[in-house]
Structure 1
Amino acid sequence: MIIIGVLLFVAACVQGSIGFGLGMLAAPIIALIRPDLLPGLILLLAFGFSIATWVRERGAVEWPVVGWSLVGRVPGSMLGAWAVVALPLVGLKIVLAVAVIVGTVSSIIGWRPGHGRRNSVAAGAVGGFLGTTTAIGGPPLALIMRSMPVERVRGTLSVCFVVGSAMSIGLLVSAGALGWEHIRVALIFAPVAIAGFLLSGLVNRYLDTKAVYRGSVAVSLVGAVAVILQAVGVV
């Protein structure tokens, strides 16, 4: 529990700094030690943080991206809810790890697909599926918005996450994959995560957000590889 608390503190700080990262950074490590908490714990915390980020960045939202991404989010989230119920735990771990690896590698190589209508719908669908199954729905949307200023990325992602997380939470509750235990644990960790989010204001002011992103990517990749090794029985 201490390890998860420290991890969520750091991940919440990254989320507040670059607009996403709570799931990408925390989910692989949590999958190694308490996979039963996923994706519910991250989704519940992300929902709260997304509201806070939206309030802070309310003047920097790319509304066309929000609208078209939510068109894709509906079927993607429904498919994700089915996968959580149908796939075994090992399968979900591998989906989580592959999502982290593909998302980070696509970002590292500098791919900039743009945020037009088609790409926004596609990113919303992929983000909906991954957000519901693994709580890592940010990278597809962040990828198509790479050309935007970081504050506009934070603002746009926050709105997408508020609606998308609420949708995923509702579907998982209906499917019986998110219950009171997830809510209880989310409430326990909420103060730690809030402290990390508040610290992100100082990070945005004094640290290079690109350096923060590169560091989070490195940790995420290590965690994703460890999840795959554990899933196949190597560790």
Structure 2
Amino acid sequence: MIELLPSPGVWAACLIAVVVGTAVQRLAGQGFGMVAAPMLALLAPDYLPGTVLLVGLCVGAGSFLSDRSAVVLRDLPPGFAGRALGAGIAAWIAARVVGTAALPLVTGLLVWLAVGLTLLGLRLPLTGPTLFAAGTVAGVMGTLTGIGAPPMAIVYSDVEARRSAATQNVFFAFGMAVSITALLVAGVIGLRHLAFAAVLAPAVPVTLWAVRPFAARVAKRSIRPWALGLAGTAAGVLIVRSLI
């Protein structure tokens, strides 16, 4: 029988992952899922992906509200449409893998994919079709694991940093909301996900407030190696543990 909440030690470790992921998300416009998802998959796999998505919604909304003046509204419709399509596809997949041994392996592999996409430094022009395509891929990845930022980051790689981070935070928040809705319809978010998210979520506004003074001074390139290293290592451990 799955407990409504994990042990205090597991909760504390997951709380640290949420704090680190929230700080990275606020400062760089991406990173919460890549940090939090593999850690929760290692420590509390029975609470995926619902808990990451529920807390991620708080992270994205809070990050967006902290810098909403930099959002470019014309970018949003095609990205939103793609994200909704991807979430629907992923919900169908999730209904078949959530609660099975396949989910931690899928999470680890998607984290490695996300890290790889980030390291490759791919670039795409910022257009309606590329936003729709990136949104669709992000919708699939984000709904299954909470990691939907890398496809959007490719499109925004050459965009001014403040606009890039703020607009990606909008996509992140919208994506979490759409993914949660899709998984609720698919019946794979339950009371335990809501309960665990409720005890982790208070760390989000505290972290957003704490890192606010650094937002204008910290370059996202300076924190990216640390976030990618942590995510890649956790994903590697998760994959090995899933295969043995």
User: What TM-score comes out, normalization by structure 1 length?
Assistant: 0.92
Task: Determine the C-alpha separation between the residues in 1 that align with 2:188 and 2:64.
Answer: 27
User: Which of the residues 73, 76, 101 maps onto 1:90?
Assistant: 101
Residue identity over aligned pairs, in percent, reads 27
Aligned to 2:148: 137
User: Which of the residues 39, 43, 61 maps onto 1:33?
Assistant: 43
Task: Determine the C-alpha separation between the residues in 1 that align with 2:111 and 2:197.
Answer: 22
Task: Determine the C-alpha separation between the residues in 1 that align with 2:216 and 2:130.
Answer: 32
- SS of 1:59's partner is helix
User: What TM-score comes out, normalization by structure 2 length?
Assistant: 0.89
User: Which of the residues 92, 99, 123 maps onto 2:134?
Assistant: 123
Task: Determine the C-alpha separation between the residues in 1 that align with 2:168 and 2:218.
Answer: 21
Aligned to 2:82: 72
Aligned to 1:14: 24
- SS of 1:73's partner is helix
- What amino acid sits opposite 2:184 in the alignment? V
Task: Determine the C-alpha separation between the residues in 1 that align with 2:233 and 2:59.
Answer: 25
Instruction: Specify every segment of 5 or more residues in structure 1 that has no aligned partner in the other structure, as ranges.
Output: none
Q: CA deviation at 1:45?
A: 1.3
Q: CA deviation at 1:24?
A: 0.7
Distance 1:156 1:207, change over 3 A: closer
Question: Is this contact kept in 2: 1:15–1:197, CA < 8 A?
Answer: no
Task: Determine the C-alpha separation between the residues in 2 that align with 1:208 and 1:69.
Answer: 25
- SS of 1:115's partner is coil
Aligned to 1:157: 168
Q: Deviations over 1:50-102 (max 9, x none)?
A: 22222222111133332111221222111111111112633222322222222
Distance 1:200 1:143, change over 3 A: farther
Question: Is this contact kept in 1: 2:41–2:104, CA < 8 A?
Answer: yes
Distance 1:119 1:94, change over 3 A: farther
Question: Is this contact kept in 1: 2:63–2:208, CA < 8 A?
Answer: no
- What amino acid sits opposite 2:41 in the alignment? A
Task: Determine the C-alpha separation between the residues in 1 that align with 2:124 and 2:107.
Answer: 23
Q: CA deviation at 1:113?
A: 1.8
Aligned to 1:171: 182
Instruction: Specify every segment of 5 or more residues in structure 2 that has no aligned partner in the other structure, as ranges.
Output: 1-10
Query: Which moves more between the two structures, 98-107 or 76-85?
Result: 98-107
Task: Determine the C-alpha separation between the residues in 2 that align with 1:126 and 1:78.
Answer: 11
Task: Determine the C-alpha separation between the residues in 2 that align with 1:232 and 1:195.
Answer: 37
Aligned to 1:56: 66
Equivalent residue runs for 1:181-200 within 5 Å? 181-200=192-211
Task: Determine the C-alpha separation between the residues in 1 that align with 2:157 and 2:105.
Answer: 26
